[in-house]
Amino acid sequence: MGPTNIVQAGDPVLRTAANPVTEFGTPELRELVSTMIRVMQEAPGVGLAAPQIGVPLRVIVLEDEEGRMARLSKKQRDARERVPFGAIAFINPTLELLGDEQMTFFEGCLSVAGWAALVPRARTVRVTGFDVEGREVEWEVSGWPARILQHEVDHINGTLYIDKMLSRTFCAASELTGRWADSTPDEVRKALGA
């Protein structure tokens, strides 16, 4: 398959709740998941929802490899609870927030290219759904993988991170990688009056 464009904010497919998948194990569903993983990896990103490539279905993929964390110090990785995991897909996922603890870190989005903001998210979540073949799957996870899951499930519900961000921290990605690269979320919030 050739290049696949990532839909950008402003396209209605990103603001509409996606439709549930009703047929599992089909060549079309396998191809969709394969394409989504390829697009996510090439972008590069750590997650992708089907609406981000213009497909209004409740399908998400995520992956966070060691190489994506290379620019982070051990202290930054530990604070984010960022751990590597391989590519995984969830079809028709349902997300449950576990506990009251939240973590606030910068998020970006392949569909809001070039921008980032601090976003509070639940620290621990449980996702249930199905794999491509229709087998039930469940994952309870904390830290950065939980953040990715929340971000991607938001996509299939028609929500972007900008709807949940601390708006005064919204910044160009170049500011994040330059000015705020070594700052804690609290330092950024204080400096920007958020």
Cα–Cα distance for residue pair 163/119, rounded to 1 Å: 9
Please check whether residue 84 is in contact with residue 63, taking contact to mean a CB–CB distance below 8 angstroms: no
- For residue 40, give Cα distances in angstroms to 44, 75, 79, 103: 6, 26, 24, 24
Other C-beta atoms lying within 10 Å of the C-beta of residue 85: 15
Structure tokens that stand for 88 in this block: 């995984």
Helix (H/G/I), strand (E/B), else coil: 18 = coil
Give the strand pairing for 115-130 and 136-142: antiparallel
The reply to whether 152 belongs to the active site is: yes
Give yes or no for a cis peptide into 12 (omega within 30° of 0). Answer: no
Q: Which of 107, 152, 175, 187 is catalytic?
A: 152
Please check whether residue 39 is in contact with residue 53, taking contact to mean a CB–CB distance below 8 angstroms: yes
Cα–Cα distance for residue pair 146/10, rounded to 1 Å: 26
Residues serving a catalytic function are 152
